[in-house]
Every structure is written in structure tokens, then in C-alpha cells.
Amino acid sequence: MLHLRVIAPSEQSSTVADLLAADPGVTHLAVLPGAARQPAGDLILCDVVRESADGVLHALRQLGVEERGAISAHDVELSISSAAGRAAEKAPGSGADAVVWDEIAAKTGEQTELSATYLVLLTVAIMLAGVGVLLDQPILIVGAMVVGPEFGPLAALCVALLRRNLPVIGRSVQALVVGFVTAMVVTVLSTWGLDAVGLVERGMLESERPLTDFIWRPDALSWVVGLLAGVAGMLSLTSKKSGSLVGVLISVTTVPAAANAAVAVAYGVWHEASGSALQLVINLCAILLAGLATLLVQQAWWRHLGRRRRLRRPGGVTR
């Protein structure tokens, strides 16, 4: 359930309140006339089940409430109310599966900034994976996957492509390209530095690495892994029941490949560098395709539920 706080101009307040009251997924509605000062207007508070939240927010934006007022929402962690239970029963679908598109757009939009923290985390992740590749140590690869922050821009790009948001598309692509190029260049330099002091050597890359050599050998399974990662990543973004560490699955297809490519470039092992780079491109494309497809399916499903809900209202025809 989401708690909505709406500031509406006084002349629009009754329209907004009536709209909210008419939705069966809205409960705990309260109107405080003249309570808002900046911007001036009436303060309207309510709770809305997640299944109905997207439709309610869309209706409020159609009224233009945000132009002269404001709309904010946050999760309700605890609600002890029979009215809330009845609202959840009347709403279609499951709250755990509900998609609130404005919430997702806001969440992912914040992760497209090419910040110093993002660059440092991605660089550390790829450097750590580079050491793991040379030592043939999967545990270091897993550690690098946990550190990698690239899931944010990837998710933002999927959402922006669906909503045709060109500015966010541009920022997401910039964060991914600049981030990976910067991190890989630093990894090349760090590999040279470690080699100079005798901590690593070319022979470590060229020796048998049974636990990690799959990283630079792309095949049909590379697409399968990337597609599965894209589906899991999008569901972790939209579902309230998935843990945030599902995003680690995204890194298994990106950070190790980028690290192996950087280390191979440092030692001039070009066939391995090209294989790793191809692996990275394949996985990124697969993640984007699967993520976008997952969002399209979710969008179509919730639109279908919305149409059925409207037909079941008084005056409609129940299917």
C-alpha cells in the first residue's frame, strides 16, 4: 500500500477528492482545506493499494495536479485497518506484482547520474574481477559482482526505452559507456602496475583456468544467461518481494567479461580480449532485450486488468 499526499488548488480540490473517493482501491481519505502554504491549496491524504496506485497517479496527472500543486507517495510499512483490507480485496491482481510506473521511473532515473561514486564502484568491481580472473578464483568474481553498480543504468535504460524518454536514454547510455571504458582503462593500468612489482604475470592469464575461462568464450548460452538476468533484474525492480541482491545476477554477465577483456588487453592477448568484449556486448544486449520484454508484458497485463476492472463498475458489462 502507498500513502499519497496531494496538494491541490482550492478550486480543484473537490474534483481530486471525488476522483480518489470513487476508486475502490483508495481508503483513509482525508481533506484538509487550506492546510498547504507552498504551494498554496488543500492538503489531501489517502492510502491506495499498489494494484490501483498506477491508475490513480495517472488520473491525477491527467488533471494537471502537479502543475499547480504536488503529488508524493511512499510505502506504508504497517496498516491496521479493515478498510485497507477491503480495498485490497476490491483491487485487481496482487500487490506484490503491481507495477507503479511513476515510482519505477523515479527510482531508475536517479541511477543514471555519472557520479564519482558510480565510477569508483564500477572501477573497483572490474579491478577486483581482473585479479579473480588471473588467480582463477570465482570467489573474487562473486565479490566483484556484489560491488558492481551497473544494474542501475541498465534498468533505467529499459524503462526509458519503454516510455520513450530520450533524455534518460542518453544519460543511461552515457553512464554505461563512460563507466565501463573508464573502469577497463584503469584495470589495464593497474594490471601493468601489479605486473611491474611482480604480483601478477602474463603466464597466469595464458595458463589453464578451468573455473573462469568461460568468461571469454561466448556461445549460445551467453544469450540464455543474459536473457534470464534481464528478466530477474526487471522483476527485482518492479516487485516488492524480490531482494535487492537480485541485481547481483546482472553483474555475473557484465563485470567479469569487462575485467577479462581489460586484463587481456594489458597483456596483448587479443583473441581473449575480443572474446571477452563480444561476451560483454552479447550479455548487455540480451539483458536489455529481456528487460524491455518483461516490462512490456507487465504493462500489457496490468492494462488488461484495468480494462476488466472498469467494465465491472456500475454501468459496465462484466466479462
pLDDT the model gives residue 95: 60
CA distances from 237 to 11, 152, 218, 243, 273 (A): 38, 10, 27, 9, 32
Q: What is the 3-state secondary structure (H, E, C) of the chain?
A: CEEEEEEECHHHHHHHHHHHHHCCCEEEEEEEEEEEECCEEEEEEEEECHHHHHHHHHHHHHCCHHHHCEEEEEECCCCCCHHHHHHHHHCCCCCCCCCCHHHHHHHHHHHHCCCHHHHHHHHHHHHHHHHHHHHCCHHHHHHHHHHCCCHHHHHHHHHHHHHCCHHHHHHHHHHHHHHHHHHHHHHHHHHHHHHHCCCCCHHHHHCCCCCCHHHHCCCHHHHHHHHHHHHHHHHHHHCCCCCHHHHHHHHCCCHHHHHHHHHHHHCCCHHHHHHHHHHHHHHHHHHHHHHHHHHHHHHHHHHHHHHHHHHCCCCCCCC
In this prediction, the residues of the chain whose per-residue pLDDT falls under 50 are 243-245, 247-248, 314-319
Q: Which residues are registered as beta bridge partners of 48?
A: 2, 26
Report all structural domains of the chain as residue ranges with CATH numbers, in order of start: 2-91 (3.30.70.120), 103-303 (1.20.1080)
27 forms bridges with which residues in the sheet? 47
User: Cell numbers of 176, please?
Assistant: 554505461
What pLDDT digit, counting tens, does each position of 176-208 carry?
999 999 999 999 999 999 999 999 999 999 888
Looking at residue 6, what is its pLDDT? 95
Q: Does the CA dihedral 153-155-158-160 come out positive or negative?
A: negative
Q: What is the pLDDT of residue 165?
A: 87
**Contact criterion met (CB below 8 Å) for 257 and 215:** yes
Summarize pLDDT for 248-271 with one digit per residue, the tens. Answer: 455 566 899 999 999 999 999 999
CB 259 within 8 A of CB 252: no
The model carries a pTM of 0.78
pLDDT digits (tens, 9 = 90+) for 130-152: 999 999 988 888 888 888 888 88
Note the pLDDT of residue 250.
57
